[in-house]
Amino acid sequence: MDNIVQKFFAELIGTFFLASMVLITLIPSAPFPLATAIAAALTLGLCVYFVGGISGCHINPAVALATKAWGWDYLLMPFVGTAIGGLICKALYRGFSKQTS
C-alpha cells in the first residue's frame, strides 16, 4: 500500500512543479520568448531525476492518458497536480499584478 501512495505523491508533486514553472514563465513581461521552453525542460529533467525511480515520472496529463491504455493505475494525479499548480500561479499572478498597479 505504501508503494502506491509514494507513486501517487511523486506524480502529484512532479506535475505540480512542471505546471507551476510553465505558468510562471508565461507572465506577459517575460524577459525572452524561450523562457517557457527552458523552464519546462529544466523542470522536467529535475522531476525525472528525483521522482522517475518512484513512479516513472509520467507527469504530463497527455502522457498519463496515453499510458492508461497500458494499465497505468494513477491517471488522476497529473490532472490534480496541474490544477493545484494552476490555482497557485493564478493567486500569485493576482498578487503580483496588484503590487505593480
Domains of the chain by range and CATH? 2-100 (1.20.1080.10)
**Arithmetic mean of pLDDT, 84-97:** 76
> In whole angstroms, what is the distance from residue 42 CA to residue 3 CA?
27
- pTM here? 0.63
Comparing 14-23, 32-41, 64-73, the range with the smallest average pLDDT is: 64-73
Instruction: Decide: residue 98, CB within 10 A, 0-12 exposed, 13-18 middle, 19+ buried.
Output: exposed
List the helix and strand counts (H, then E) for the chain: 4, 0
Dump pLDDT digits (tens) for 57-80.
Answer: 777 766 666 666 666 556 677 777
Grid cell locating 70: 497500458
Task: Using alpha carbons, select from 77, 37, 38 the residue that is nearest to residue 60.
Answer: 77
Contact in structure between 59 and 44 (CB atoms under 8 Å): yes
